Structure 1
Amino acid sequence: MSARAAIASLSIAIAAPALPAAGQGIPDVEAGVSLFWVSHYDSMDSSYRERIVAAGEDWAIYQLLEDEGLYEGDEVGPDLYALFSGIDYRSCREDHMPDEAERGRLAALFPLTEGSVMEETTYTGSPVIRVGAREDFFLMGETVSANKVVFDFPEDDEEHEDEIVFVLSDKPYTVALDWGETGKDRVTLIAQSDETLEAPSPDTLGNCAALLN
């Protein structure tokens, strides 16, 4: 299971904020946008929300919102992670982020095209990213296009399993995660909320803070 999927599997249902009316289309990647997910893993169903707290040209910093009762004590900080071009996930606790050259290659994949390939040398395990064909994806009452993106690890790598995500073909949003035979996460709604969003502090952002410079 990927690091992102492992975090997602811990999530439970949360209350949704007030959202704009349906049918307004998929918003651009920007602060305040929320992605609502449903998750199925090992016969357990749950739901969770990702909220973008900051965004740039080729990256967005997400916060995973969970029920506060999931953890005890005040020492646990928010789950924050950066997503580069909707494909490359890095926890803000990680020491390594994609370098400028890799970020450029990731951004150049859009709009996603079947057969595009790039190697991720700064991603643990150095997988090859392979973009598959466009597929229909049902989102917010309509059918949109998404591409299957596979993180293909070397055959002799016994520590990592291939990871599969689905990314919107024309906007850098991950909208589905598959792992193993029983794990599936799917986005059901992407919308800009009207809740007040406080700018994250550098101390909270950890290694993601460098993206704000």
Structure 2
Amino acid sequence: MSSATLPQAKKHTRLEDAQAMIIGTMIIALGVNLFTQAGLLTGGSAGLAFLIQYSTPLSFGQAFFLINIPFYALAIWHFGWEFTLKTFLAVFCLSVFSDVTPLLVSFENVDPIYASVAGGFLMGVGFLMLFRHNASLGGVNILARYLAEKYGISMGKFQMAIDCMIVLTSVFVMDVMLIAISFIGAVALNMIIAVNHKPGRYMGNV
């Protein structure tokens, strides 16, 4: 089939962007709470927020919102105001949903390995929804997207490397076994992104 006969990608509407942002962050918040209940963490700015949550009075949502503030400068410079605004709103939504979800859903007994795999998959799917609607959750996500677009570096592989490094730094505040299980979650999360977020595969206009 020639390029002239390929279907043209249509730009997402504002309603589609809004529903993706809300649903995506709700899915990620559920994964975050699975990790929290099992005492796990992931990488990137979310991983730092987990570490702060475990070692200070701040909640995950509060820590996550504060950590992402410095990364908005890169977002404005390289991706523009639309992407930055969407990212800010996504960060805000996740911060709120992460703190509200435990009030609505409780996990009395969660196997850490299951929480790691299921939570990683949930967060990966949520990230994917945001990426496809020209948004992210700031932090390493912004840097990963910049490197992918500028130098063709795989977002999933780059984030997996960074995430594993951050998980390693948690040795001072976490049990070694939980750190090992957290690696499984980091791989599960980034496998979703590495497999599904590839140039030209998705027809939606992000």
TM-score with structure 2 setting the length: 0.25
Instruction: Return the structure number with greater strand share.
Output: 1
Instruction: Return the structure number with greater helix share.
Output: 2
TM-score with structure 1 setting the length: 0.25
